[in-house]
Amino acid sequence: MPGPVLVPILGDQLTPTLASLAGRTPADTVLLMMEVAEETTYVRHHKAKIALILSAMRHFAAEMRDAGWQVDYVALEDAGNTGSFAGEIARAATRHGASAVQMVEPGEYRVMQDLRALQADSPVPMRILPDDRFICSLPEFYSWAAGRRELRMEFFYRQMRQETGLLMDDGEPTGGQWNYDRDNRAPPPRQLDAPAPPRFTPDAITAEVIAMVERLFPGHFGDLAAFGWPVTAQQAEEAATAFMTQRLPHFGTWQDAMLHGEDALFHSLLSTSLNCGLLDPLDLCRRAEAEYRAGRAPLNAVEGFIRQIIGWREFIRGMYWLKMPAMRDANWFGAELPLPDFYWTGETDMRCMADCVRSTRDNAHAHHIQRLMVLGNFALIAGVRPQELEDWFLVVYADAYEWVELPNVAAMALFADGGTLASKPYAASGNYINKMSDYCGACRYDVQQKTGPDACPFNPLYWHFMARNRDKLEPNRRIGRVYATWDRMSEGRRADTLASAQAVLDALVPAAPGWARAP
């Protein structure tokens, strides 16, 4: 009798229909799940991110056992735990006398390198299968990208709409337009009264994991007091239903809005569940479309939501694998500023920044425009070294895995790849934040002032960024025209602007070492 097939399932593969389980039966298969020190510590993750993944893993193992599967679960503190995926797969293959190992490819390049090395040395056959939970396979993405001069999400998205048939009528986009982004940028009124997303009270499994995280990772960033993320597929379904019925109808209009203390607004907060496998992306999109077809949600909301998932999410994943490992080293502007300490402490008079860091600390979440136009934008115009900001983003968000974090930070927020993903840097002065939020009114800085100690720091930094990168940005058709405005300013005003920006930069305190990676 040949030994069983060993099927390792990683912490972001919590999906019962995983490709590695197709055709397998409980009689000839052992599932292996591993809590390993290498994953919990390769960066010093937000406490809530570790709690979410380990709790979701433990719940998934219990559900798979209930469904009849044999699950070998290695807990973080088990005696003999080698601390790495490769070590645990090798150990379990011997323990079970496995005839073969079969698993779905990991989401991260770093882990893929380790698994390929293990595969090369494995005494039993080891198959690594494509992750078919993504709508676009990697070979399909590579062939879409091949030979194109510019890789832009919009064109990829149109192809995905055609392939999935989402929001298509007789081969044409529903409503006659592919993209309703213009209707998704309304500045917020003073109050928006968004219904709060459901939070899930920790059960015994989650409570035990939370206690373990507090004990083993006391110095990690973030708070666990408000932990309420879905940790099972059933909870994720509940969260998805609440979103579809309560917030989706307004998702489009207020997609880019920010309000102080309003951490979710009309966003779905489904990324944590999507990224660890508790929800299926295509299913979510079909449900959103059904809300539109039934007349319960408008087209700009539903198209906007579907675009984020079959457009941005898939495009970002394809770009990651296309551009790695170079993407991790990209630094087109040669930015070398250390990450300011307020990214960790939240201690800054910039009200927008303080609120975004607070939400990040309390919830392990901030919404897209906070990530892009406050946290990312400041780092871009101040000139923070990309690898430091990338580490920060990988640590602090419960939905952060390198395949989705890195392209968003390096290529979208920092333009560190020189424009393979975005057509221009998302650099903005305080004016943009003022328009899209209620942050500025009660800020210690004055968003209308362009220079001097009371000026909003985003204002002079914006021009400092433009001026110091002129050789790179002036040829860009989409942004180069701003130099005409700069050149029209008097020499004195330009000098004051640069001096004000330099004063902001000189006052920044670099973060103490050890927040993101163990010193």
Closer of 410 and 466 to ligand FAD (Cβ):
410
Of ligand FAD, ligand SF4, ligand DLZ, none, which one does residue 34 interact with (CB within 5 to 8 Å by kind)?
Answer: ligand DLZ
Q: Least CB distance from residue 190 to ligand SF4, whole Å? A: 15
Among 445, 462, 465, 515, binds ligand SF4 (CB under 6 A): 445
Secondary structure element (H or E) that encloses residue 53, with its range: helix 47-66
Pairwise CA distance, residues 102 & 110, whole Å: 19
Interaction of residue 209 with ligand DLZ, rule CB under 6 A: no
Give the residue at shortest CB distance from ligand DLZ: 11
> How many residues contact ligand SF4, by CB under 6 A?
14
Name the token pair of 384.
Answer: 């923070």
CA gap 337, 510 in Å, rounded? 8
Indicate which of ligand SF4, ligand FAD, ligand DLZ, none lies near residue 350 (CB less than 5 to 8 Å, by partner kind): ligand SF4
Written as one letter, the residue type at 495 is A
The token duo for 98 is: 């496995």
Q: Contact between 178 and ligand SF4 (CB under 6 A)? A: no
| Residue 433 vs 501, nearer CB to ligand SF4 | 433
Nearer to ligand SF4, 444 or 470 (CB): 444
CA distance 170 to 65: 45
Cβ(71)–Cβ(61) under 8 Å? yes
Query: Nearest approach, Cβ of 314 to ligand FAD (angstroms)?
Result: 8
The string over 340-368, giving b where at least 16 C-beta atoms fall within 10 Å of a residue's C-beta and e elsewhere, is bbbbbbbebebbbbbbbbbbbbbbbbbbb
Asked whether 69 and 60 are in contact (CB, 8 A), the reply is no
By CB under 6 A, what part of segment 345-404 binds ligand SF4? 350-352
- Give whichever of 39 and 438 is closer to ligand DLZ, judged by the CB atom: 39
Binding string, residues 91-110; x marks residues near ligand DLZ by CB under 6 A = ---------------xxx--
> Amino acid identity of 406?
L
439 binds ligand SF4 (CB under 6 A): yes
Which x/- pattern, by CB under 6 A, does the window 458-497 give for ligand DLZ?
A: ----------------------------------------
Position 434 contacts ligand SF4 (CB under 6 A): yes
SS3 117: helix
Shortest CA distance to 75 belongs to which of 57, 52, 93, 95?
Answer: 57
Residue 312, C-beta contacts closer than 8 angstroms, at least 6 positions apart: 153, 157
DSSP conformational letter for 72 = E
* CA distances from residue 323 to 133, 337, 406 in whole angstroms, order as listed: 21, 24, 10
Residue 269 interaction partner, one of ligand SF4, ligand FAD, ligand DLZ, none, beta carbon < 5-8 Å per kind: ligand FAD
Compute the least distance from the CB of residue 495 to ligand SF4, in Å: 22
Q: Which residues of 420-459 are buried (b: 16+ CB within 10 A; e: fewer)?
A: bbbeebbbbbbebbbebbbbbeebebebeebbeeebbbbb
**Residue 366 and residue 258: Cα distance in Å, rounded?**
10
Give min distance, CB of 45 to ligand DLZ, in A.
Answer: 5
Radius of gyration of the chain from Cα atoms?
A: 24
Instruction: Scan for tokens 């790179």, then name that residue.
Output: 472
Looking at the Cβ atoms of 60 and 401, the one nearer to ligand FAD is: 401
Nearer to ligand SF4, 157 or 458 (CB): 458
In this chain, which of 11, 311, 383, 430 binds ligand DLZ, going by CB under 6 A? 11
The partner in contact with residue 35, picked from ligand DLZ, ligand FAD, ligand SF4, none with C-beta cut-offs of 5 to 8 angstroms by kind, is ligand DLZ
CB-nearer residue toward ligand DLZ: 276 or 335? 276
Question: Measured in Å, how far apart are the chain's first and last C-alpha atoms?
Answer: 50
Give yes or no for a contact between 310 and 160, defined as CB atoms under 8 angstroms apart.
yes
Q: Is 462 in the site for ligand SF4 (CB under 6 A)?
A: no
Residues forming contacts to ligand FAD in the complex (CB under 6 A) are: 267-271, 274-275, 305, 308-309, 312-313, 316, 367-368, 371-372, 376, 393, 397, 399-400, 404-405, 408-409, 412-413
**Minimum distance of ligand DLZ from residue 126's CB (angstroms):** 16
The one of ligand FAD, ligand DLZ, ligand SF4, none whose footprint includes residue 280, by CB under 5 to 8 A per kind, is none
Stretch that binds ligand DLZ, among 6-14, 232-240, 249-257, 365-373 (CB under 6 A): 6-14
In the stretch 14-53, what mask flags binding to ligand DLZ with x, by CB under 6 A?
Answer: --------------------xxx--xx----x----x--x
Which CB sits closer to ligand FAD, 45 or 351? Answer: 45
Q: Which long-range contacts (CB under 8 A, 24 or more apart) does 106-112 make?
A: 106/10, 107/10, 107/12, 107/131, 107/275, 107/401, 107/402, 107/403, 108/401, 108/402, 108/403, 109/320, 109/321, 109/324, 109/325, 109/328, 109/402, 109/403, 110/42, 110/402, 111/10, 111/85
Tokens of 80: 């003999």
Among 13, 64, 18, CA closest to 39: 13
By CB under 6 A, residue 447 contacts ligand SF4: yes
Q: How many residues bind ligand DLZ (CB under 6 A)?
A: 16
Reference 284, options 308, 263, 265, 266; nearest CA is: 308
Binders in 228-247 for ligand DLZ, by CB under 6 A = none
Chain residues that interact with ligand DLZ, rule: CB under 6 A? 10-12, 34-36, 39-40, 45, 50, 53, 106-108, 111, 401
Chain residues that interact with ligand SF4, rule: CB under 6 A? 350-352, 430, 433-434, 439-440, 443, 445, 447, 456-458
